[in-house]
Amino acid sequence: MAFLKLFGILLCLSITIIACEQLKHKTKPNVLLVLIDDMRHLGEEEVNLIHLNNLAGKSINFRNAFAQQALCAPSRNSLLTGRRPDSLRLYDFYSYWRDFVANYKSLPQVFKENGYDTYAVGKVFHPGESSNFTDDYPYSWTERPYHPSSERYKNYPVCYDRRTKSMQKNLICPVVTKNQPDKTLPDLEILDNTLKILNKRDSEKPYFLAVGLHKPHIPLKYPKKYKDMVPIQNVQPPRFPFKPENLPLVSWHPWTDLRSRDDIKSLNISFPLGTMPHKWTIKIRQSYYAAALYIDGLIGKLLSHINYSNTIVVITSDHGWSLGENGLWAKYSNFDVALKVPLIFYVPGMVPQTMDPPVELIDIFPTLVELSGLGINIPKCRNTNDRSILCYGGKSLVPLMKGIDSSDYFAISQYPRPSVFPQHDSDKPRLKNIKIMGYSIRTKQYRYTEWVNFNSTTFTIDWELIYGGELYNHHTDPDESNNLYTNIHYEPVKKYLSELLRNNYST
């Protein structure tokens, strides 16, 4: 009898402990992070992304969010470690920070170490050397990250070209899905796998689920029906489709990835300063919008499976994409269109609002840690040489969300160049070839950029050796087409912004 009584007490105690553990986990919200590839900040005058706009309407919507570098691997590693490219010493695709610099903790790793199941589906870290060919598994993820099998056909000649009546490796590539290899597309597989994770989870732990969608990254390959949703007669050209006269050459990039596609190659556009024909500008913009609509539809399906009462949802992109503004295409620059991205935070119980101050993608790390109530204190990195295993270079946006921070916000970005004059590797120079770094600061009114001497062996900067400068007043020139750098009337502004940039680029 005494044994049974003792057994009953122990059983009740065990149940209580289990219940407490379950309660502890349930007090932590789930986190869904959606990373879209090459998605610029799109206004409704360009295309109406219904599902993203609906989510933005019930979320904290940051309308001026900027990437740290307009290139996939550096931007993703920066976002997922909360550190600037200078801290990771990654400006291309060919080094892994844990081996090359220090064993810094990543955002999903922090959640994993604090009781979360962490999953990666699709392109979260950039695949390859920059994430150790493992997407940083097992440090960051509970399970091996998932990649769609159909991704191997990314650059196959699967685009039917009416002009040649053949299959080509085109930039513009609307397709019939059932006619594609494997009868599917990568983002469709990514969505299916994500829903399987959500529907089959039986763990009591909260989850951190990162989903990386591939489009609208080129080639602009998407289900054909989305092109019909963007009538070409409604597509507007950029207001300034040519290289501005006062743009320093070091700022220009020749968008070689577009030039290498079969349909664009056939246009014989002069290298490196030639501009896209008007007809093709409209066609590319149409297909980019169509690819964005395709992704928006997939996000809508994903969000229909989310429990909003206990899930934080963050949607953003690794960087933006130029669509012919100032004669430029793709990323590879310090212009707003190449750096500005959507940034939406849905937080249960938080009042929806639209935020205009400039913020940065490295702000996501400390913001999510604070919002999730992990109960850990992560310090701010002292500078880019701070080798602390866990610190962040951005700032938590929670005070801004709650209206208790009135600071003057700004965003700092950068881009490397091998030379002043555009070359074949100006878009994506390898580390050993980088000679110049363009550091850019975006305030509410201005974008200011200095292209300065950079030593890629010692990782040092000579601020006194300037190869070009840019200053744009967004109140009068939102297209960044009128460079005011040499305008004597803006000397005080230039001096102020130069000091602000130089005093803050490393933090």
Assess whether pLDDT exceeds 60 at residue 217.
Answer: yes
pLDDT bucket at 163, cuts 50 / 70 / 90: confident
Mean pLDDT of the chain: 94
Report if residue 371 sits inside a domain. yes
Q: Is 424 a catalytic residue?
A: no
pLDDT at 415: 98
- Beta-carbon count within 10 A of 126 CB: 22
Query: Is 352 in contact with 434 (CB distance < 8 Å)?
Result: no
- Helix %, strand %, coil % of the chain (to 5): 35, 20, 45
DSSP string, 230-256: S-GGGPPPPS--S--TTS-GGG----H
pLDDT band at 13 (very low <50, low <70, confident <90, very high): very low
319 in a domain, yes or no? yes
Question: How far is Cα 472 from Cα 332, in angstroms, rounded to an integer?
Answer: 18
Q: How many CB atoms lie within 10 A of CB 149?
A: 11
| Tokens encoding 259 | 């030039």
Distance between terminal CA atoms of the chain? 67
Q: What is the mean pLDDT of residues 177-200?
A: 96
Whether the ω angle into residue 238 lies within 30 degrees of 0, i.e. cis, is no
Positive or negative, the CA dihedral 414, 417, 422, 424 is: negative
* 489 noted as active-site residue: no
Q: For the range 261-266, what are the long-range contacts, defined as Cβ-Cβ under 8 Å and sequence gap of 24 or more?
A: 261/169, 261/170, 261/171, 261/218, 261/219, 262/157, 262/159, 262/161, 262/168, 262/169, 262/170, 263/159, 263/161, 263/168, 263/170, 263/171, 263/172, 264/171, 266/163
What mean pLDDT is predicted for residues 172-181?
Answer: 96
Q: What percent of the chain is predicted at pLDDT more than 70? A: 95
Strand ranges in 68-175 using DSSP code E only, listed in sequence order: 117-122, 159-161, 166-168, 172-175
Q: What is the pLDDT of residue 26?
A: 53
Report in angstroms the alpha-carbon separations of 100 from 90, 139, 394, 408: 9, 16, 22, 34
Task: For 467-483, write each residue's pLDDT tens digit.
Answer: 999 999 999 999 999 99
Q: How far apart are CA 293 and CA 46, in angstroms?
A: 11
Q: Are 315 and 36 in contact (CB under 8 A)?
A: yes
What pLDDT sits at residue 507? 63
Q: Is residue 353 part of a domain?
A: yes
Structural domain contains residue 17: no
Number of domains making up the chain: 1
Q: How many CB atoms lie within 10 A of CB 88?
A: 24
List 126, 147, 217, 253, catalytic entry: 126
Residue 246 domain flag: yes
Report the pLDDT value the prediction gives residue 3, as an integer from 0 to 100: 42
Catalytic residue among 41, 72, 253, 391: 72
CA distances from 224 to 161, 294, 487, 497 (A): 14, 10, 48, 46
**DSSP for residue 489:** G
**Phi, psi of 451, rounded to the nearest 5 degrees:** -100, 110
Interatomic CA distance for residues 10 and 153, integer angstroms: 58
CA distances from 202 to 20, 209, 310, 312 (A): 17, 15, 16, 19
CA distance 277 to 263: 13
Tell me if 216 sits within 8 A of 37, measured CB to CB.
Answer: yes
Helix (H, G, I), strand (E, B) or coil at 86: helix
Which tokens in the block code for residue 240? Answer: 């300034």
Residue 495 lies in a domain: no
Residue 297, in any domain of the structure: yes
DSSP class of 289: H
Q: Would you say residue 244 lies in a domain?
A: yes
Q: Is 363 helix (H, G, I), strand (E, B) or coil?
A: helix
Q: What does the DSSP 8-state code read for residue 13?
A: H
* CATH of residue 270: 3.40.720.10
Structural domain boundaries, residue 304: 28-407
For 129-147, the pLDDT digits (tens) are 999 999 999 999 999 999 9
> What average pLDDT does the segment 16-37 reach?
68
